[in-house]
Structure 1
Amino acid sequence: MRLDDEGGEIDVEMTGRSDIFLFEYGVVVYWGFTEEEEKRFLKELARFENEKLADEDVEVEEFNYYITKSYQPRIYNDFITLRDGSNYMVKLSISHALAQSVKISLFEELVDNTIEDTQDLPEEVALTGKISMNRKNIMKSIGELFILRINVNLHGSVLDSPELMWSEPHLEPIYQATRGYLEINQRVSLLNQRLEVISDLLQMLKEQLGHANEEYLEFIVIVLIGAEILVAIVNVIVDLIAAEKF
């Protein structure tokens, strides 16, 4: 987020403070840093990263903010208004909502990609009655879908109100206002609906895997029965040959 000099009665002395907030689910929120400073910090932070995202998967959101006594803390038209640039608790409450929004954006992208990659499977089942994927690829797809659902549903800190709101209830209004502006509740609801689609697809893949196992077992049984019949025929022939000799 960049400093901006538009709107309100800006107290220049209060805009000089810069803050960084790091969240355990892999989001960093900057207040008052240049882009070069942000990149330099991320480079230093890289040594502590786990499961680093590919560059094309990184989500970035930018807002302007300014300090003014004219308004209470709020977010409007992508501008964040603060009354006190040194109050890091207000910044932290807003940062929680911003960080959640960025993480949800990543989940939305992952869900969209998963649906796009698998959208042809239902049509294939409708046309042929089965999926052309082999057992290994089916298991890999099931594993990927499970990982996606786990990541979305077990990141409580992403979807729920942070514990800070319980210990500092006076920060709840600005946090909720920011969540409302970013439409987090609506996006989470839509995300869960899409996850239901993925859940149905997961069930279909599991059923297909079960059918594949049944077909494999049926094939083995048929082979065993054929072998038994063949052995019986050979025994009969051997007995007939032996009887003719005597």
Structure 2
Amino acid sequence: MGYGVVCTWGLSQLREQEVVQLAKKCAEEPLSMEEVEIDQFQFVYSVHDPPSMSNDSITINRRQAADHQVKLAICHALAQSTKLCVYEERVIDLVMSTKHLPQHMAEHGTVRISAKEVAQLIGQVFLQRSAVNLLSSVLDTPEFFWSAPDAMQVLYERACEYLELETRVEVLNARFEVGGAHHA
């Protein structure tokens, strides 16, 4: 997938690791080990239930078990969610590394870092903000759904709702708005 994410279904842990290692060798900018994000879902086949997601479990109807488009529709949402997790973690790390600054400024009227360090922190904020803005285009509905049956897009949209993609992007952008207000 174009997100730099690997989705696998039903592989052994060893096989999965082999696939991930191969993908890392092909990556232009592989993530550091600290940034690697792993989401795991269980999946089951059902005789009666339509495809759905709940409680980190994916249900696929047995009649659709051989239809790769069903898994691909779900994979797009999972990949987007996993990619979003990486950016959420980066923003949390940035907030945690600077959270002492407003408190110190409130108590003492100054901060104990140089102007250069302040400029570097602001630069980091802008880099993450622009990365999240670029991520928004990654979170658009993939081209796959332009030619896929409508039911696949509905499944994708349900998966996106379950993974709360839209809300998470809004929260992430809101964190930057609060940060931007302080730097204005």
TM-score by length of 1: 0.67
List runs of 5+ in structure 1 lacking aligned partners: 1-22, 205-246
Q: Do the aligned residues in 2 keep the contact of 1:97 with 1:175 (CA within 8 Å)?
A: yes
Distance in 2 of aligned mates of 1:92 and 1:73: 12
1:188 aligns to 2:169 (yes or no) = yes
* Matched positions, count: 181
- Report the equivalent of 2:74: 94
Pairwise CA RMSD of aligned residues? 1.8
- Report the equivalent of 2:91: 111
Name which one, 1 or 2, has greater alpha-carbon Rg. Answer: 1
> How far is the alpha carbon of 1:80 from its aligned partner?
1.2
Q: 2:6 aligns to what SS in structure 1?
A: strand
Q: Do the aligned residues in 2 keep the contact of 1:104 with 1:158 (CA within 8 Å)?
A: no
> How far is the alpha carbon of 1:36 from its aligned partner?
0.3
- Report the equivalent of 1:132: 112
1:67 aligns to 2:48 (yes or no) = no
Q: How does 1:1-246 map to 2 (within 5 A)?
A: 23-83=1-61, 84-168=64-148, 169-201=150-182, 203=183
Q: Do the aligned residues in 1 keep the contact of 2:3 with 2:80 (CA within 8 Å)?
A: no
Can you list the C-alpha shifts for 1:126-149, whole angstroms capped at 9, x where unaligned? 233333321321222122111111
List runs of 5+ in structure 2 lacking aligned partners: none
Distance in 1 of aligned mates of 2:129 and 2:21: 30
Task: Look up the equivalent residue of 2:115 and give its one-letter code.
Answer: R
TM-score by length of 2: 0.88
Q: 1:80 aligns to what SS in structure 2?
A: strand
> How far is the alpha carbon of 1:98 from its aligned partner?
0.7
Aligned-pair identity (%): 35
> How far is the alpha carbon of 1:60 from its aligned partner?
0.7
Distance in 2 of aligned mates of 1:144 and 1:199: 12
Q: Structure 1 pair 141/68, CA: closer, same or farther in 2 (3 Å)?
A: same
